[in-house]
Amino acid sequence: MKQFYELPKSVQWTIAILLLIFGFGLLTPIIIEPTLGLVLLPVFAPLFNLVSVPFFRLIGYYKYLNPYVISTIQNNEQYDLHNVFTFDYLVNFTWADRGKTAQRTLLLHYFKALITIIERIENKELSPDVKIIGHSYFFNDRTAKKLGFTVHKAGSFWIINSCLQFIELSYLYSFSQGKWAFPKFWKVKRAEITGHNLVKQKKNLEVLVTRLASQKNK
């Protein structure tokens, strides 16, 4: 699975379309029954994510800053950051990576994504006035604030979205914890920083990346 995105684009497109067809074939009976569909929404949400990720990546809706961090919005006004979905976990991780290795890898690449944004600002590819926004239920408030982010409770949309996604969030979180664990997905937080302030944190981020990379290689 790790080599999926190294396959020829024609093969990726074929697999992406077949996954969509298969997924919608399973979901259609649920979707056409409104009451059943509403009740089972948390169940088929992870299935939809699983079968749709390759397609959305190929059409450019999911914009990958690296294999573990994506955006759906990338412009001079805003960059949003999201964790990846089940498909990407299957592509990038093995079962042996669960626990500390997964935690460090995810955190390492989140910091790397921020450095990528800084480099785009430095190279004049992105306005320094851009707002970088991330939503998550497992932010370390102390680390985020130390890096210049403001952290506060997310809006209703993100809380509802996390509740609907709780099945996928739960097993992905459990994988990163190395054991069954139940995330507080109803306590979603929003972290925000401007491009100007993020650039000032480049050295700190580079130190964190170096530290996590050395721990990951032990």
Q: Which of 21-35, 73-87, 127-141 has the lowest mean pLDDT?
A: 21-35
Contact 92, 109 (CB under 8 A): no
Tokens read off for 37: 């569909």
Domain regions of the chain by residue span = 62-216
The pLDDT > 90 percentage for the chain reads: 62
Q: What is the pTM of this model?
A: 0.88
At 85 the three-state DSSP class reads coil
As a whole number, mean pLDDT of residues 148-170 equals 88
Tokens read off for 21: 């067809």
Q: Using alpha carbons only, what angle is made at residue 210 by residues 209 and 213, rounded to the nearest 5 degrees?
A: 80
Strand partners, 153: 189
Contact 138, 183 (CB under 8 A): yes
Half-sphere exposure of 135 (CA within 13 A, CB side): 18
The whole-chain average pLDDT of the chain stands at 88
Q: Which pLDDT does position 135 carry in this prediction? A: 87
Contact 51, 36 (CB under 8 A): no
Check whether 217 has a pLDDT greater than 70. Answer: no
Residue that wins the pLDDT comparison between 59 and 162: 59
Q: Which pLDDT does position 185 carry in this prediction? A: 79
